[in-house]
Structure formats: C-alpha cells, structure tokens
Amino acid sequence: MRILFVPFGSEGDVNPLLWLAGHLAARGHDAVFLLTPHYGPLAVRRGFEWHPMGTEEDFQRMAGDPALWKPVVGTWRVAAAMRESLGHYRRAFKAAGGRFDLVVTSSFGLAASSLAEAGGIPRLMLHLQPACLRSHRDLPIPAAGAAWLRHAPAFVKKFVFGGVDFFLNRTLLPPLNRFRAKLRLAALGDFYRDALMGAEGVGLLFPSWFAAPQPEWPEGIRQFDFPVSRHAPAPLPSALGEWLRAGEPPVLWTHGSANLHVDRFHALAVQTTALAGGRALLVSRNPPAIPLPANLFHYPHVPFEDLMPFCRAIVHHAGIGTTAKAFAAGIPQVAIPLAHDQHDNAARIERLGAGFDASGRARPAPLSRLLSRAGTDPELAAAVRRCRELASSSPASAEALCRFAEAVAGGVGPGRA
C-alpha cells in the first residue's frame, strides 16, 4: 500500500506517526508524509518521502506566539492555525500525488481527512492523548485547579461538555465545512462526533493503564500502547555526552520542542537547582538568556528516548510524547503544564504515583522539595518501575495497530461496518 501520514502539531505529534510508518514500512508498505518544513528532516532521517505543508515562516509565526501556551487562549490559537492551514493542505495533497490506499492523521489533521474523503480514500484517525475523548466518569482535566470537575455532579459535566461543543462548533466547524463545500462534501453537523471521531477507523495511541476505556467512547474505537519502543540509546552528541559523563545523573528540564518562550522556565531551573543541589540539563530550542553555572548545561535538541536513560528525573510540560517517553525510561516526572491536554496528562502522572503535578507549585522551593521526594520516596520509585514495565509498546500491540491500519485500508474499519 501507499499510505499518507498527516500529523498536526509539534514534534510530539509527528513522532508517533513516524513510529507507525516505520512499522508499516517493515511490512512492505510505502509511507509518504505531509509536514511543515520545520519537521521535514525527521522524515528524511528515516528515509520517508515527504512534501511541505505551508512554510517554515508559517511554523515560526505560530511557535513564536506566546499566547499559544496560555490556558484557553492557547486553544483558540491552535484553532486559528488549523483554519489558516486548510488551503496549504489542499496544495500539499495535490503535490504528493493524491493517490493513496490509506490516509493516517492525528487529531487535527482534518483538512487531510476531508481531502481523503473526497478522493474515496479510507482514513485512520489517531488520537494521542485522553483529553481528546469524552467521558463523565473520567473527565479530562481542562485547566489548573479544575480537578474537582471529575467529582462534580452530572449536570456540571454536561455543562462543561456543552461549552466545549459550543466552542468547537462555532469556531472550527464553519471554516471546515466551507473547505468541505469546495470539495463537494456534505457539511458536518457536530465537530466532536463527525470530525474527530468520524473516520473509517479511529485509534488511541495511549494504553488502558493510562486512561481506561469508558462507556461513552465511540463504538468501534481501538486502543493501543504508547508509540514508543524500548531500545538501546543512540550515541549522544560529543559535548553533551562528555558533560553527562563528568558527574552524577542530572535532572532534565524541558518545556517542549515547539515552545520558544522559555526564559522564565530556564530561570526557574537555575533557581531550583541552586536549592536542590545536583546537576540539571536544559533542553530547548532557544538558549538561556542568563549565564549558567557549571552544574547546568543547555542543549538545543536531542531525542529524549536517547537522553532520558542518563537522567535521574524530568521536569516538563506534560506533553503526551514527553510523558510517554519518561514512563518508558523509568524516571520520576515533575509536570508543570501550560495548556491544551497538558493539565490532564499531569493529573494522570500523579494519579499513577509516578510523579507530581506541580500546577500552582512552579516555584523554586516547592519544586526542590518535589525533586527531593522524587529521589527518596520508595512508593514513587515502585510506581515508576511499574509504569516502565508497562509503557513501551509491545510487538503484539504494534502488530495489532498495523493490522488495524491494513483492515481500515481494506474497507473493514469500524466506520465502514
């Protein structure tokens, strides 16, 4: 088969589809990607054909918007980016040839999903985080201080979901339906039901121990392991490797591959390390604006699966990709979520006992205490080990996902039954 992969978002959204493409390529299928040019090298590194979706300037403009990482407002910014990208997808789809046996998208690859529908191509929609799913019993945490909603009366939860639907149907559905009209496709009536859950196949790339299946989830949805595989770490860049070997394992600090506004986060790392002691490694695209002492080191980018085995803990934004890799690496996590799905992921980390949700505690003194507990708490250490054993994708789960993709391409996905 010739399969088109269309992720939407940051590197944490791109890597899972690259992971699946690798498994499907090993089964003899050809993988093609539509990507923002910023992430094109990720496809090249793995030997996959790719075509640009938009420009590097488009990516930098979006990533450079500080509001992208603010609660609520950040979601509006993502919605705006999706609207603005609709035309780019149509041109990129045409450049890629348009003839595919299957189109695989992440949650907001909705333009590609409509283009596939117009061409009669089966679609597999993959959701990477539990926050994409609706449940009254396991309500996703939308923001800091909102954990009480999980125990709220049913009418309150209904009101919350009603507000989410109002936002999605008033903000995202009209431009998506105008785009579909140009493709001579029928208008969608509900964003959640028809756009996010309306593909021929819908899969979840997070395991049941992280988010258990719920009765309100759409019928026919399939759940798989995290898209990470356990392997020997690749060699690290020489300067980074030398620093790591020169002392004790550091605490890894990162606030995401796409976040350019990390000056306050860097300052927090410096101040917290001064209180907690030890060493710290800062990974971010932008270098620190302040001088770093000898026990702190900055590096712009390195695959976390190769780096985390050399670290004793991680302080991060609770993006789903970083969260999954930290589970697989078996290191304690301290989460400082910003927006989007991150508060829900952080709450799940804490509920599993594998780390802490530091929402409202992102100050040097509280963080230093949490990092101290991360190194001494035997119950946390046991939970981290337990999650490590569960976190890596098993060969059986990866094969099941590949077979599911092949079945959807063959016209027997749950949406076609």
Alpha-carbon gap, residue 154 to 273, rounded angstroms: 43
Do the beta carbons of residue 330 and residue 384 sit within 8 Å? yes
Examine the pLDDT at 33 and tell me if it is beyond 70.
yes
> Where residue 10 falls among pLDDT bands split at 50, 70, 90?
confident
Looking at this protein, which amino acid is placed at residue 147? Answer: A
More confident residue, 150 or 292: 292
Best mean pLDDT range from 85-99, 166-180, 319-333: 319-333
Q: What are phi and psi of 397, to 5 degrees?
A: -70, -40
Best mean pLDDT range from 7-21, 119-133, 149-163: 119-133
Examine the pLDDT at 414 and tell me if it is beyond 60.
no
Q: Which of 59-73, 269-283, 340-354 is least confident? A: 59-73
What is the reported pLDDT for 412? 44
Alpha-carbon gap, residue 342 to 110, rounded angstroms: 21
What is the reported pLDDT for 69? 65
Alpha-carbon gap, residue 2 to 96, rounded angstroms: 11
Q: How far is CA 219 from the centre of its chain?
A: 23
Examine the pLDDT at 396 and tell me if it is beyond 80.
yes
Do the beta carbons of residue 212 and residue 138 sit within 8 Å? yes
- According to DSSP, residue 334 is labeled E
CA dihedral 154, 158, 164, 170 (to 10 degrees): -170
More confident residue, 279 or 415: 279
Scan for tokens 């980016």, then name that residue: 81
List domains and CATH numbers for the chain. 2-227+393-416 (3.40.50.2000), 238-391 (3.40.50.2000)
Half-sphere exposure for 140 (CA within 13 Å, toward CB): 20
Scan for tokens 């996703």, then name that residue: 140
> Where residue 68 falls among pLDDT bands split at 50, 70, 90?
low
Nearest CA to 196 among 64, 98, 105, 80?
A: 105
Alpha-carbon gap, residue 198 to 192, rounded angstroms: 8
